[in-house]
Amino acid sequence: MSLATEFAPAKVNLTLSVGRARADGLHPLSSLVAFADWGDELEAREADTLSLSLAGERGPALADEQQNLVIKAAFALRAAAEQPTRGATLTLTKRLPIAAGLGGGSADAAAALRLLNRFWDIGFSTRQLAEIGSVVGADVPACVHARPLLMSGIGETITPLIAWPELPAVIVNPGKPVPTGPVFKAYDDTHPALLSAERPPVAGAVSDALSVIAAGRNDLEPPAIGLEPAVAQTLEALAAAPGVALARMSGSGASCVGLCESLDAAQGAAQALQRAQPGWTVQAVTLQAAA
């Protein structure tokens, strides 16, 4: 195989419950996660060594990273396969906003695991790739699966949903990066309680899924708003947009998602928001259904 590509979809946290930090500083969580038909793309070409180049309008923003998660994932895969000399020329076309709560770096790392597993003909299962991904980043196992799921533990426990519909939505990012670390620190200052276990939800229709999501929350939303008021502005604009049934921040922000009952409604909301806020990133999407 001389050339292969892999899609890295945006990860959307439809709910996110976060517990009190453990002794090691990591946070137990429970999150209902879905993946969009919008994201980055990774390409692999044959080479003797392993390298990464960046493309797309957002690629330059990653140029100063000491070790991109894509390369970290590639090294982890080579080590797990005991094939340390494998090479590839990787090109990441970056479309998702940076530090946006859409799991962009984790999605890219997961795409690297899937792509190179196929490109190098290693033959690891999705579960094995997710285990390898857990050493790369907490969100990587979920992004390896890239389907509707409940993520728990510190992100390593993945329960794919057995019944979940496609969800039309509009994703909005106000162009304000919100680093995850300060958001969690602000959350810790609220002295959160221990986390209760959650059961994987089941929904057959969009209305059922919206009810499930509305009953949940994103615990990081208030601290993120405290650090970056643009999150509140984004949520208010989404909630007021025509056709949006529910608005919620994704991950640690600043991206927010507006859920709609139809793709036409999502596209209409996206057009209205883009007209009102031309400086924002606005994208109508479909969040994938359970297989």
Cis amide prior to 254 (ω within 30 degrees)? yes
**Could you give the CA distance from residue 166 to residue 279 in angstroms, rounded to a whole number?**
28
Of 237, 218, 265, 219, whose CA–CA distance to 173 is shortest? 237
Instruction: Report how far residue 257's alpha carbon sits from residue 162's, in angstroms, rounded to the nearest whole number.
Output: 23
What are the residue ranges of helices labelled H in 241-262?
Answer: none
Hey, what amino acid is at 154? I
On whether the CB atoms of residues 260 and 243 are closer than 8 A, the answer is: yes
Please answer whether residues 243 and 261 qualify as being in contact, where contact means their C-beta atoms are separated by less than 8 angstroms: yes
CA distance 13 to 250: 5
Q: Which residues does the annotation mark as catalytic?
A: 11, 139
CA distance linking residue 62 with residue 30, whole number of Å: 29
